[in-house]
């Protein structure tokens, strides 16, 4: 029966001090001294498992078109006899060896010479570049000044050489001319 005023205990008694929790491993049960003194090294397999990559249908389709296949039957025959597989992009991840002389990552940036910074060497180099650029621009302006003539376009040509003024013609077609009636002299003019 539960004790008065206390909840009922719902647990088991613990085993004795000679009980080991978990799996007892005879080979590795030496504690910290064994872990520090004897490292378990994993031996590499003699022949790593070769993965079979899936077929690369895109590359096979391109190759079939290059060979002149046009019908579905020709494509099926080409796929049957030409087996192109996808390339294993993770070959180095799955036990492949890196080629000799290959390095991974980004090469380190060359160190900045501190002595050049202290002597303002970079400022002097920049100033020299600016002076050289100014000299080149001055020489270009001088060459343009020697030539002296700027290419004229139609507007500047017409300003300096205006077109001659067109004289107005007083000639009109005959049908628009006033036809004079035969002149009958008035009685005043007869005298």
Average pLDDT for runs of 10 along the chain of length 191: 75 80 66 67 62 87 91 91 81 60 78 85 93 92 67 84 80 68 58 52
From CA 12, how far away is CA 172, in angstroms rounded? 133
- For residue 80, CA distances in Å to 53, 89, 104 come to 17, 25, 39
* Predicted local confidence at residue 167, as pLDDT: 77
Burial 54-81 (b: 16+ CB within 10 A, else e): eeeeeebeeebeeeebeeeeeeeebbee
CB 81 within 8 A of CB 55: no
What's the pTM value of the predicted model, to 2 decimals? 0.26
Q: What residues have CB less than 8 Å from 8, skipping those under 6 apart?
A: 2
* Predicted local confidence at residue 159, as pLDDT: 87
* Predicted local confidence at residue 100, as pLDDT: 72
* Predicted local confidence at residue 155, as pLDDT: 87
- What are the tokens at 175? 């049908």
């Amino acid at each position: 029966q539960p004790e008065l005023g206390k909840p009922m205990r719902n647990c088991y008694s613990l085993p004795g001090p000679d009980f080991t929790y978990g799996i007892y491993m005879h080979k590795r049960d030496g504690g910290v001294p064994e872990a520090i003194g004897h490292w378990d090294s994993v031996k590499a397999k003699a022949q790593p498992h070769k993965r079979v990559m899936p077929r690369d249908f895109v590359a096979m389709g391109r190759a079939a078109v290059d060979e002149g296949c046009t019908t579905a039957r020709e494509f099926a025959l080409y796929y049957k006899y030409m087996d192109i597989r996808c390339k294993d992009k993770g070959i180095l991840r799955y036990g492949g060896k890196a080629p000799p002389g290959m390095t991974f990552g980004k090469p380190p940036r060359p160190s900045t010479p501190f002595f050049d910074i202290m002597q303002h060497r970079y400022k002097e180099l920049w100033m020299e570049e600016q002076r050289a650029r100014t000299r080149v621009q001055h020489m270009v302006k001088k060459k343009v000044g020697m030539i002296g003539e700027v290419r004229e376009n139609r507007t500047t040509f017409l300003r300096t050489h205006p077109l001659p003024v067109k004289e107005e013609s007083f000639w009109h077609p005959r049908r628009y001319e006033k036809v004079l009636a035969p002149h009958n002299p008035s009685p005043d003019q007869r005298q």
